Structure 1
Amino acid sequence: MTEYNAKAAIMVAASPVICHDTFAKPERLTRFWFPRVSGPIRPGADLEWYMGEEKDAQCIPVTIDDAFPGDSIDMRWGSGETETHVSWTFTEKGPHTEIKVVESGFKGSEDDKMTRALTQTAVLNQVLVAAKAQIEHDVDINVIEDRAAG
């Protein structure tokens, strides 16, 4: 069986700590990704990330396995057959930070795993571009609220 991973990376003109905080702090994360989250990213946290502001918005369970400010975040999200592992790294490269994300552990048939990995690669790239816009230009591009129905 083939292991399929979703991968994305981007260079951002900011320190690793600022880049990490953009994902770890709810007041930053909700500006460009999930519009509602139950708390900050910290080791051992069990969180809920919502696809909308509404009371009945779809909820994604998130468990933070590890988080090191300015360095990395390791988490699991989803549940049952949809649960995957997501690893974020924040690496200083001169005046920039390289943000890398890898999502792994897709389940199902070979076709299902490949489709999910490809879809998530696109989603993660959108998230990184939106984070870069917020960090570098203070522009909010919310990839969930602004997405077109497909």
Structure 2
Amino acid sequence: MTEPLVSAATLIETNANACYEAFADPTQMCRFWFPRSTGRLETGARVSWFLSDASDAIEIPVRVISAVSGTEIVLDWGDPDAPTRVTFNFEDRDGQTVIRITETGHAGSGDEKLATVLDSQGGFNQLVIAAKAWLEHGVAVDIVSAHVT
């Protein structure tokens, strides 16, 4: 059986370096994705993202495998014993950027894997549109706090 691949993409009307920085820089990323982060995404960094600003918010551990400015961020996140791998690609197209996000490595039974893949697929589709709103219009869309399961 082929491992499921989560994938989301969109065209953003700004350059690849600006798109990359929106994800790597926690002050920007927290405007359109997780509301709290402990640090910048750089190769070898270990940071935490939180589902809210509350002191008891659920923490998501993140380990940055590689970060190449303006090009790509690769990270492992989630359960430290069974993380998934997320890759953010930033493809320059004459001053515009195609951002592609993929995720692999979902664990569990067939039904458990299907549930996490579907949740991730929806989340990453929301993420690319929230990033587009932020980068093109300066609009902060709170997709994490608004997420309903």
Answering whether residue 56 of structure 2 is matched by residue 56 of structure 1, we say yes
Distance 1:40 1:80, change over 3 A: closer
Q: CA deviation at 1:43?
A: 0.4
Q: Deviation per CA, 1:64-117, whole angstroms, max 9, x where unpaired?
A: 000001000000001245510001100011231000010000001122212211
Give the percent of matched residue pairs that are identical in Structure 1 and Structure 2: 34
Return structure 1 stretches of 4+ with deviation > 4 angstroms. Answer: none
Calculate the aligned-residue CA RMSD, in Å.
1.2
Mapping 1:75-94, distance limit 5 Å: 75-80=75-80, 82-94=82-94
TM-score by length of structure 2 reads 0.95
Q: CA deviation at 1:118?
A: 1.6
**How many Å separate the matches in 2 of 1:82 and 1:143?**
24
Aligned to 1:18: 18
**How many Å separate the matches in 1 of 2:120 and 2:82?**
12
**How many Å separate the matches in 2 of 1:135 and 1:15?**
10
> How many pairs were matched up?
149
TM-score by length of structure 1 reads 0.95
Aligned to 2:31: 31
**How many Å separate the matches in 1 of 2:100 and 2:2?**
22
| Larger CA deviation: 32-41 vs 107-116 | 107-116
**How many Å separate the matches in 2 of 1:88 and 1:125?**
13
Aligned to 2:95: 95
The runs of 5 or more residues in structure 1 that have no matched partner are none
Contact 1:9–1:125 under 8 Å retained in 2: yes
Aligned to 1:4: 4
**How many Å separate the matches in 2 of 1:74 and 1:80?**
16
The runs of 5 or more residues in structure 2 that have no matched partner are none
**How many Å separate the matches in 2 of 1:60 and 1:6?**
19
